[in-house]
Amino acid sequence: MARMKFLCDTERCIECNGCVTACKNENETPWGVNRRRVVTVNDGVPGERSVSVACMHCSDAPCMAVCPTDCFYKTEEGVVLHNKDACIGCGYCFFACPFGAPQFPNGPAAFGARGKMDKCTFCAGGPEENGSKAEFEKYGRNRLAEGKLPLCAEMCSTKALLAGDAPVISDIYRERVMRRGKAGEAWGWNTAYGKPEQAAPAAKEAAK
């Protein structure tokens, strides 16, 4: 079974926002809900770098640990998904997440009134039937079920953003690092994937 991960190569990202636009287009998320964002540091001065950030689908996901209604679940491919029907909009996951991934349609409103949490699904939908209308309306496209990878990485013009099976994308990255002759740790990997994988990922069925 594959272990799906994201990797953003900060030496390559040109802050074009192609990934952000691809995500909005594919999942039809509303204005103000950004599953993916590009962050730039040292803007306009030497050393400027950009990185494209969304949910990293952590090995030992803090969001899962803190959710009071246990709405998160993990697929066999390591993708962290959640069940909007169970979400009460408390915002705990947002505070726990090291990447600022969880989004709330009503912004920073009070408890409950924030609306159901929304985040990157690795283009893998949610608990509803794969590819169903209900799944699309709540979670967006289920590309993984169609044998496709997330659209953000597929559309990245510089291939800074990689998505896929961990050994495959780390090999691509290792080869780049070797060619550049410059060591560099993949951005965010230690935080997201530094801990051992949560035991026994629950299958989609089990979460229902």
- Chain residues that interact with other proteins, rule: CB under 8 A: 15-17, 20-21, 24-25, 31-32, 43-45
Chain center to CA of 5: 8
Q: Among residues 4, 7, 8, 124, which is the contact residue for ligand SF4, using CB under 6 A? A: 8
- Near ligand SF4 in 150-169, by CB under 6 A: 156, 158, 160-161
CA angle 112, 104, 42 (to 5 degrees): 140
Size of the site for ligand SF4 (CB under 6 A): 28
CA separation for the pair 76, 73 (Å, rounded): 10
The 81-120 site mask, x for binding ligand SF4 (CB under 6 A), equals ----------------x-x-xx----------------x-
**44 touches, from ligand SF4, other proteins, none (C-beta below 5 to 8 Å by class):** other proteins
**81 touches, from ligand SF4, other proteins, none (C-beta below 5 to 8 Å by class):** none
Q: Which is nearer to other proteins, 29 or 59 (CB)?
A: 29
Q: How many CA atoms lie within 13 A of 52 on its CB side?
A: 31
Secondary structure element (H or E) that encloses residue 162, with its range: strand 161-165
Q: How many CA atoms lie within 13 A of 208 on its CB side?
A: 7
For the chain, give the longest Cα–Cα distance: 51
Q: Is 57 in the site for ligand SF4 (CB under 6 A)?
A: yes
Residue 15: both structure tokens together:
């802050």
Q: Is 80 in the site for ligand SF4 (CB under 6 A)?
A: yes
Phi, psi dihedral angles at 161 (to 5 degrees)? -90, 120
Min CB(17)–ligand SF4 separation in Å? 5
CA separation for the pair 24, 12 (Å, rounded): 22
Q: Is 67 in the site for ligand SF4 (CB under 6 A)?
A: no
Q: Residues in the site for ligand SF4, rule: CB under 6 A?
A: 8, 13-19, 38, 50, 52, 55-58, 61-63, 80, 97, 99, 101-102, 119, 156, 158, 160-161
